[in-house]
Amino acid sequence: MWAYEKKLQYPVNIKNKNLKLAKLMMAQYGGGNSELAAALRYLNQRYTMPDEKGKNLLTDIATEEIGHVEIMDSIIYQLMEGASIEEIKKEGMADFYAEHGNDLYPVNPSGVPFTVTYFSSVGDPLANLSEDMAAEEKARAVYENLIDLTDDPDVLAPLNFLRQREIVHFTRFKELYDYYKNKGIK
């Protein structure tokens, strides 16, 4: 079961509003390679991991990913905090405001809502781990795209942190994949 620690895994301290940037950040909040997709993916695949190693790794990474969902929503929240209705209209966020007011909602930058079809669970540990490795690489690439799209050091700091995490997660999934392959687990 999940317990909550009232802190962010990594701090988010954004001084300057930027609604256009907030919309782009939704890519990693509700998009196809988002932290939310990652968390749900690993939570659904952990059941067919053949031993405690795999069950633990998927559960522990999923737990971290939920913390990353929180970092992304903090980034989006702070980028939009205090925006007036005029600013919301001018910066192209009126569509979002109409449906959600000042709440968040998992959509991608084009407004496409999050769907569980962004991830799979196929009941096979090697296939699942292959997807997990690809997912981490894709998330890393998307973070690089987002990093390319801003100069704000307050936003770059958590984005680079989150990007680095994808690299570590990829490595652990690869290590587990190789371990199972060598053991002859199919």
Helices (H), 46-152: 52-80, 85-90, 94-100, 125-148
The first and second tokens of residue 84, run together, are 């007036």
Residue numbers 67-96 binding another protein by CB under 8 A: 70, 73-74, 77-78
- Tell me which residue has tokens 């769907």: 115
- Range in contact with another protein (rule: CB under 8 A) among 12-20, 30-38, 108-116, 120-128: 12-20
102 lies in the site for another protein, by CB under 8 A: no
- Range in contact with another protein (rule: CB under 8 A) among 23-31, 37-45, 123-131, 151-159: 151-159
What is the amino acid identity at position 99? E
Identify whether the C-beta of residue 116 lies closer than 8 Å to the C-beta of residue 18: no
DSSP assignment letter at 10: S
Q: Which of 131, 137, 144, 152 binds another protein (CB under 8 A)?
A: 144
Residues 6+ apart with CB under 8 A from 72: 25, 28, 29, 34, 35, 162
150 lies in the site for another protein, by CB under 8 A: no
Q: In angstroms, what is the minimal distance from the CB of 150 to another protein?
A: 12
Q: Contact residues for another protein (CB under 8 A)?
A: 3-14, 53, 56-57, 60-61, 64, 70, 73-74, 77-78, 143-144, 147, 153, 156-157, 160-165, 167-169, 171-172, 175-176, 179
